[in-house]
A and B are shown apart, each in its own frame.
Chain A
């Protein structure tokens, strides 16, 4: 096997110049990718085993793959056979991981009507070119590699009658010169109009424009007028990087503000000495935002101090801020839209620094769900799309069938954003469905939140046990046999994925034994298996109003892992021996086989307890074993809860409501408050206890890589809005620690109830919950000990152990616990704290997305409910925040919140602290105060239906 030496000259971090030598082996037997080729090896060595068979095969070049990935991936007769060159894929991978992944899946999966193969041209002896290191540019070398490969392929394939054609998306002059067959993507699109909407527009290379103009337009050069630039140009990368080093420019991620799209923030570190101190820089106005979209990593320059300002407290929609015109036609002033901004001046605060975007370090565009706006359609094939995500600007797209797509939800990718165009331009990937259709809207919610809706892969399904799987004697020998114990589960009604069950046994007069039995998911999901992979990508089960997207296939989640009543199941048990006050004397963990005696709902369990208590008070002893243990559990739970409260655990609240769904019509008829029973609290108490005990155990064995959950202690500043809100309602709140906070919240609730205000306490709790950060998973090695604290539960260490069917974190915890107990060795990737933290971060992300999705789904269904109830819906609402031009209100009955816009002519003024607003008609609105609002639905096809709240 011949070997070539490749030499690179590289500059190291310190700026030293190094010479790197790498070997490069050339082979003769590598497959050329053709199915019928007799001289090459039949099967490849890697994952890509596809072969091409048509007479003409397209060989895309790097520009074609990078720009037109969606088009190339389309199943279409004109694009049926594709051969990817190794040299092209190398460049694609280095430029865009996302596109590379797309190509990878094309190469590794078999599709009807599409054949894709790989040809390792750089390692094949005949097609390898040596790169001379005398100033040959990389692009030139890559292009030569491609030409050499295609030339060789055409020669190699003559005997089998196949032809390789370069598929290009840039100027083809060099292919013309070299006399290799090529076709441009544009040509294919022109021949096949249905592909046109997938075609990604891009800037023509100046070279190509020259050629065209020299051929056609030389006689009248005035005709091609240059469009006006609307945005300032970006700095070249080199200059931007030098500027960052010199601390003239700063780099950070761009996020538009949630209420006002004309304002965005970039969090950067302004002081080099204090790396941990981050400052939020405001980017105000389109020109300063300079074509940035949410998530982009941008390079900013600070504006002079005279232009620093306060964050706006106005609510501005994309619609209000948008200028509805095409850049080519109208001249527009970009800063005009926000002339009347009102500043909330607080004397003790300095204005925030402002800046402008000078360059983009990295685009973070993703596929966006959007709707084609009817207004923008002026005949022709282009239209503007309105993304569902309010922080994304409208996108211009082109399609032949644009008129059919009006009012439909489509998935769009942004291709480019020129400085001459107000809006970015993109192309449609696919049609989702009509707007206002429940299915389509639900899919939009899932896509926008990045929740995978695909089915489980065949490989993952292959990891499942057979349908006839049963607990065998073998299981009972290697596990604790707890089938005789009186175990029962208590869950919400209709729950099919029962992952926890409890038992209670009195040992003697002083001691009791409580068992927490959790479904043993890891017995079915081996580490690193395809199923495990899939589950870890999903991260958790997502609950929407009318469906759930499961983390594990339903055979496991609804059957083998679910601890159903009367069925023998594998479990992971925590047996806790405690005294009558609930103090743990001894805890043991182990794998077990259990047989739940009853799967109860909260209501059923509560009824049993209530009846038994009534019976006992009348002198009738309880005979039923399940009821007896339920009573024992309830007794202990009360003590546990009291102790937890004394330690300073918080009672939090959320405005969520429960939908009453009419089964027959699949319609939501009404909403109701969640009812919290004693049994809910009882189960919660034991789950918390089990989680804490497991967390302690895990931390003892794996101090560096335990998967824990923490809830950071909120800072004083974070509570400021809460304290102000309480003050405006006439109460003082003590936030010095969680215990005091909980106590003072309880006092206020009591006092408010005495005043006849039933909801104030809950409302304050909602505001309190909002002012805290969310609890997150983390790896114990990445955070210092005191930060392990779970503030809300007042637990020094905490983890999630009890729901492995629907949370991936629990699966990892189960694996860690198994390793603690010596059942299995800990997989290598879990032994590394950083890797563990990556898992944690990914799970946190998925949890957030799941939460957002389920909220969006709730909102969608609430809107449907409002729609059915018609226009005349009037409800009491509570003010939770006062803005410069409106109020943020919460409607307790429906658990929804929104903005009430107050026009300039109705509004008088907002007081200094932002806690009260006086209207023209003399009414004063206070934070937490009650107002009556009229709710109506504003439906416009181009966006999600909007709930409009009006003050009465």
Chain B
């Protein structure tokens, strides 16, 4: 008789099971849940504003200098310019990197952050000024751009730069035919679509929306946006709480409120 198809009993399944039979993701989250967020403001004393931001195992430090006089030659006479530098520590991932900034991905992320905050910062308040944002990724477990945006937002608040609203980012991955909010490095691969969305939580406007790889149709794009917005709102609650706590602490230290 003919050689039968290969349906052997040997051999384990390949790859990861991204969603378990009980509906849990590889790290035990549900598909709508974002990772645990910890953050603090004013971590660096020499910077005008700074923030340390942790989203699961992705850790980011952001520092803001400015508004200050332009360091370079270019400036605008009626508004401030925003500059951003995005770097990743060589020890951030499991495999040690050769470069720490200036590669294509870092440059792209820097431009995204810069454009995004140009839209939110009230630039006309600071003519002939420059605002520098430095973001360094200390540990990378997926979603560095999300962490960079959120950290930069906190650092800008810490620096007292006038902004029209918060900016909160959240990404959405697509594994095993389901959307997952805030994918970690296991869940985000180069072969899968990933949507990174930044919104202003109060007005609900979209500041930036990036899609890596393609989604099948419009309907799935809509639902990806919903996941991202819901995730961003979860993150926003943490950020707002942290900012309020920090502000209250400041007021308290000056004896302006009694805590």
Contacts and interface: CB of A to CB of B under 8 A. Distances in A.
A86 B4 contact: no
Nearest to A31: B22
Nearest to A19: B94
Interface string B1-29: 11111111111111001011111101111
Contact of A120 (B24, B26, B184, B215): B24
A96 interface: yes
Given A45-B22, A362-B10, A852 B28 contact: no
B216 interface: yes
B118 interface: no
A513 B29 CA distance: 61
B1 A46 contact: no
Contact of B10 (A19, A100, A364): A364
Contacts of B24: 30, 45-46, 86, 120, 123
B104 interface: no
Interface in B221-248: none
Nearest to B14: A97
Report whether over half of chain B's contact residues are helix, strand or loop; otherwise say mixed.
Answer: loop
Contact of A96 (B11, B95, B139): B11
Contacts of A93: 12-13, 17
B218 to A, nearest CB: 9
A294 B2 CA distance: 11
A1 B94 contact: no
A46 B215 contact: no
B11 A97 contact: yes
B30 interface: yes
Contact of A448 (B2, B10, B31): B2
A46 B24 CA distance: 7
Contact of A25 (B1, B8, B13, B27): B27
Given A21-B141, A45-B24, A86-B20, A362 B8 contact: yes
A46 B36 contact: no
Interface in A927-952: 944
Contacts of A389: 1, 4
A3 interface: yes
A218 to B, nearest CB: 38
A376 interface: no
B21 A47 contact: yes
Contacts of B27: 22-25
Contact of A828 (B7, B11, B26, B214): B214
Contact of A366 (B7, B19, B30, B35): B7
A856 B2 contact: yes
A597 to B, nearest CB: 38
Interface in A604-618: none
A365 B8 CA distance: 5
B217 interface: yes
Nearest to A294: B3
Nearest to A99: B9
Interface size class of B (residues with CB under 8 A): 35 or more
Interface residues of A, number: 71
Interface in B168-200: 184, 186, 193
A363 B36 contact: no
Interface string A808-837: 000000000000000001011001000000
B36 A1 contact: yes
A46 B19 contact: yes
B94 A20 contact: yes
Contacts of B107: none
A448 B35 CA distance: 48
Interface string A824-859: 010110010000000000000110110111011000
Contact of B6 (A19, A44, A46, A295): A295
A134 interface: no
A20 B27 CA distance: 14
Contact of A295 (B2, B8, B94): B8
B57 interface: yes
Contacts of A23: 27, 35-36, 56-57, 141, 184
A22 B24 CA distance: 15
Nearest to B213: A828
A471 B143 CA distance: 49
B2 A852 contact: yes
A917 to B, nearest CB: 28
Nearest to B31: A45
A94 B30 contact: no
Contacts of A24: 27-28
Nearest to B25: A25
Contacts of B214: 828, 831
A95 B95 contact: no
A449 B2 CA distance: 7
A388 interface: yes
B123 to A, nearest CB: 38
Contacts of B216: 825, 827-828
Nearest to B214: A828
B13 to A, nearest CB: 4
Contacts of B141: 21, 23
B172 to A, nearest CB: 16
Nearest to B36: A3
Contacts of B21: 46-48, 89, 104, 107-108, 118
A45 B11 CA distance: 28
B28 A27 contact: yes
Given A22-B27, A389-B1, A825 B9 contact: no
Nearest to B16: A93
Nearest to A120: B22
A323 to B, nearest CB: 23
A849 B57 contact: no
A25 B28 contact: yes
A98 interface: yes
Contacts of B2: 448-449, 848-849, 851-853, 855-856
A757 to B, nearest CB: 32
Contacts of A120: 20, 22, 24, 28
A18 interface: yes
Determine which residue in B5, B11, B28, B36 has the highest number of CB atoms from chain A within 10 A of its CB, and name it.
B28
Given A45-B22, A365-B9, A450 B4 contact: yes
Contacts of B10: 96, 296, 362-365
Nearest to A849: B5
A11 B21 CA distance: 29
Interface string A854-885: 01100000000000000000000000000000
Interface in A6-61: 10, 12, 16, 18-27, 30-31, 44-48
A255 interface: yes
B175 to A, nearest CB: 13
Nearest to A293: B8
A708 interface: no
Contact of A18 (B13, B57, B94, B186): B94
Contacts of A98: 7-9, 11
A134 B27 CA distance: 22
B221 to A, nearest CB: 11
**9 closest cross-chain pairs (CB), A and B:** A45-B23, A46-B23, A852-B2, A364-B8, A363-B10, A97-B13, A25-B28, A123-B28, A48-B21
Given A23-B56, A366-B8, 5 more contacts: A23-B35, A45-B31, A96-B12, A98-B7, A98-B9
Interface of A: 1, 3, 5, 10, 12, 16, 18-27, 30-31, 44-48, 86, 89, 93-100, 104, 107-108, 118-120, 122-123, 255, 294-296, 362-366, 388-390, 413, 448-450, 825, 827-828, 831, 845-846, 848-849, 851-853, 855-856, 944
7 contacts: A10-B94, A18-B94, A20-B94, A98-B7, A118-B21, A390-B1, A856-B1
